[in-house]
Structure 1
Amino acid sequence: MKAITINRYGDKNVLEEQDVAFPVPTRDQVIIEVYAASVNPIDWNIRNGLFKEMLRFSFPIILGWDVAGKIVEVGSDVTNFQVGDAVFAKPALSPNGSYATYTAVNSNYLAKIPENLSFEEAASIPLAGLTAWESLVKLTNLQKGEKVLIHAGAGGVGSLAIQIAKSIGAYVVTTASQANEEYVKNLGADQVIDYRTEDFEQVLHDIDVVLDTIAGETLEKSCRVVKPGGRIVSILGNPDQTLADEYNIKVSGYWVFSSGFGDDLKQVAKLLANGKVKPQVGHVFDFTEENIRKAHELSESHHAKGKIVLKMK
């Protein structure tokens, strides 16, 4: 079958089309014919070797950890899905990702695609949607009426996090460029801070929750705008506990690849089905070696609005 693989670590040019073996499901897996996938920063961070010591993958590596498609085969222990089901998932972190025409996924990572979504829209959701959902709902327990700061609101995670926070009933503050101000307001942001001309640390105080998607100096400044007892979650590693102690706040890091997430994805699917959350597909690329290189280049620029989707069918 066709896949886009890497056979060494490096820049976008190491992405290449390759014929690989058709996946064989374990007892608790299904085989999905991939209709669409999407590009996330984890893809090109693995491609450039950032996680090579931690992951120890053998080449060739098929990147991609968002998938939407139809089930064509089920393992012997799978009882809650069947051939023909339209599903989406954030597969387990393995060297056999979704930049391929078929992929194997554990059944506990799956959810059925809401009928009001296309495959491209569905593929844009799992990793970013689960990151936003679990950060706001599970890790920080965001409540109705609380004030949340979401950094980079126009990005893949931020654009979904704004909508999830509004569905909870929170007051949403976000950082974005002036060019994206109307976009994030339409998503539900109550207050927008232009990160190019304003210092959010000088504008904000008494924030209950921060979703940090940037880290570094932004994370440190975020600690100073959170009220005592407030919560910060960073999707870019574990924050320094000394900052939490200094400002009397709770900080945590988020890693989306720790276990199966089918139940949480079903909760996100409910929000999608009732229109409380809408997919934010900013760019669609057909499934070719050249186009995936372009998609990676765009993602690495940090100027993509919404999600970058790969269309297989």
Structure 2
Amino acid sequence: MKAVIINEFGGTDVLKIEEVERPVPAADEILVKVYASGVNPVDRVVREGGNDVLRPYLNLPLIIGWDASGIVEEIGSNVTNFKKGDEVYGIPNFPGNGSYAEYIAAKASQFALKPESLTFNEAAAIPLTGLVAANSIFDFGKLEAGQRVFIQGASGSVGNFAVQFAKVKGAYVIGSCSTDNIEFVKQLGADEVIDYKTQHFEELLQDIDVVFEASSVRDNNERLKSIAVLKKGGIFISANVDFPFDDAVKEAMEKKNVKGEFLAAQTNHLTWLNQFTQWINEGKVKVTLGKEYSLEEVAEAHEESETGQVRGKFILEVRKEN
């Protein structure tokens, strides 16, 4: 089978398409015939050698990519929740061999039946970013109906799901984004949208229950502003696990009795994947695709995604749908 493999860490030139043996599923695994894989910021981080959190777990050679959608080709002897031919999506083997490949073997617990209304490309846009959003605002942020949440980077691949999930739960949602994306974020359901290029959120907001740093901006001075808009006892969650809180941020959180959390690891995979499927099938959540690339265009996909000027999820189309 074809797969995108890195044999060394570095720039996009280390992304090589090679012929490798098709994996064999273990007893608790399924073999998925991959149709599409999402392209995520963490793919670049791993390609370049990881950060302090990931580096100890990375072993070369490595197939990257951790959003997959496809069809079950084989099931392990202990798998009872899937059968051959099921259309599935999930987050396979992070941070081990991933989904930039024609087939992948992964634990059945990392997959769910894909939403019926979605194409494979659309389904591959959901798992990793959806899980980051749900873990952050619900599992860590404890967001409840009626609470006020401020989502920074609301138009991004994580932020746009966070906006929609928070609305489904009945929260009051405030998002920040660039001028060009204001209408997009409003269409996602945000109750208020702040243009970070022309407005200062710290002058507009107060008594926020949860702030979610879904933006790729890494600036502890901006975090101080976020803490200032939280109510006492509020919660600040960051998806930027590679950028720690500095002493000033820690002091500000302690003074205001604010809890700060990093999303270091994804949890509750199957529970949330099944929830996403339900919400999408009910029409409560929609998927926004960015550009779609072939497996052979993987370097171009990485280069474009690294510009940061992205709305929606970039997709590697591993094979065409029939």
Establish whether residue 271 from structure 1 lines up as the match of residue 288 from structure 2.
no
From 281, 304, 318, the counterpart of 1:312:
318
Alpha-carbon distance in structure 2 between the residues aligned to 1:243 and 1:284: 43
Question: CA–CA distance in 1 between the matches of 2:107 and 2:207?
Answer: 42
Deviation by residue 1:77-114 (Cα, 9 ceiling, x = unmatched)? 10111111100001121331100000011011111011
Alignment of 1:106-125 (within 5 A): 106-125=107-126
Counterpart in the other structure of 1:43: 43
* 2:106 alignment counterpart: 105
Is this contact kept in 2: 1:65–1:127, CA < 8 A? Answer: yes
Cα-to-partner distance string for 1:166-217 (whole Å, 9 max, x where unaligned): 1111111111111111011000111111111222112211111111124423
Contiguous gaps of at least 5 residues in structure 1: none
> Residues 184-195 of structure 1 correspond to what in structure 2 (within 5 A)?
184-195=185-196
Amino acid of the structure 1 residue aligned with 2:63? I
Scaled by the length of structure 1, what TM-score is found? 0.95
Aligned match of 1:224: 228
Q: CA deviation at 1:241?
A: 4.2
Please give the alpha-carbon distance, in whole angstroms, between the structure 2 residues aligned to 1:124 and 1:294. 18
Greater displacement, 216-225 / 98-107? 216-225
Q: 1:56 Cα deviation (Å)?
A: 4.3
CA contact (8 A) 1:133 1:268 kept: no
| Structure 1, 112-121 or 51-60: larger mean CA deviation | 51-60
What TM-score do the two structures reach when normalised by structure 2?
A: 0.92
CA contact (8 A) 1:92 1:260 kept: no
What is the distance in 2 between the residues matched to 1:220 and 1:39? 31
Alpha carbons 2:57, 2:95 under 8 Å: kept: no
Tell whether 2:86 aligns with 1:90: no
Q: Could you say if the C-alpha distance between residues 256 and 278 of structure 1 is closer, same or farther in structure 2, counting changes exceeding 3 Å?
A: farther
Aligned to 2:239: 235
Quote the offset at 1:260 in angstroms: 5.8
Deviations 1:152-173 (A, max 9, x none): 1110000111100111111111
Unpaired segments of 5 or more residues in structure 2?
none
Contact preservation (8 Å) 1:60, 1:95: no
- Counterpart in the other structure of 1:249: 258
8 Å CA contact retained: 2:49, 2:55: no
Alignment of 1:7-22 (within 5 A): 7-22=7-22
Q: CA deviation at 1:20?
A: 1.3
Match of 2:61 in 1: 60
| RMSD between superposed Cα atoms in Å | 1.6
The count of residues paired between Structure 1 and Structure 2 equals 310
Match of 2:304 in 1: 298
Cα drift, residue 19 of structure 1: 1.0
Q: Which residue of 1 aligns with 2:164?
A: 163
Query: Which residue identity lines up with residue 150 of structure 1 in the other structure?
Result: I
Q: Return the alpha-carbon distance in structure 2 between the equivalents of residues 188 and 98 of structure 1.
A: 31
2 CA distance for matches of 1:273 and 1:103?
A: 26
Percent identity, please: 39
Could you give the per-residue CA deviations for residues 264-292 of structure 1, whole angstroms, max 9, x where no partner exists? 2111211111111111112211221xx11
Q: Distance in 1 between matches of 2:222 and 2:110?
A: 32
Q: Is the 8 A contact 1:66 1:127 kept in 2?
A: yes
Structure 2 CA distance for aligned equivalents of residues 218 and 265 of structure 1: 32
Q: Which amino acid aligns with 2:227?
A: C
Q: Which residue identity does 1:248 align to in structure 2?
A: N
Superimposed CA distance per residue, residues 241-263 of structure 1 (whole angstroms, 9 cap, x where no aligned partner): 43321221121111344x56112
Q: Which amino acid aligns with 1:245?
A: E
On the 8 A contact 2:50/2:58 being kept in 1, the answer is no
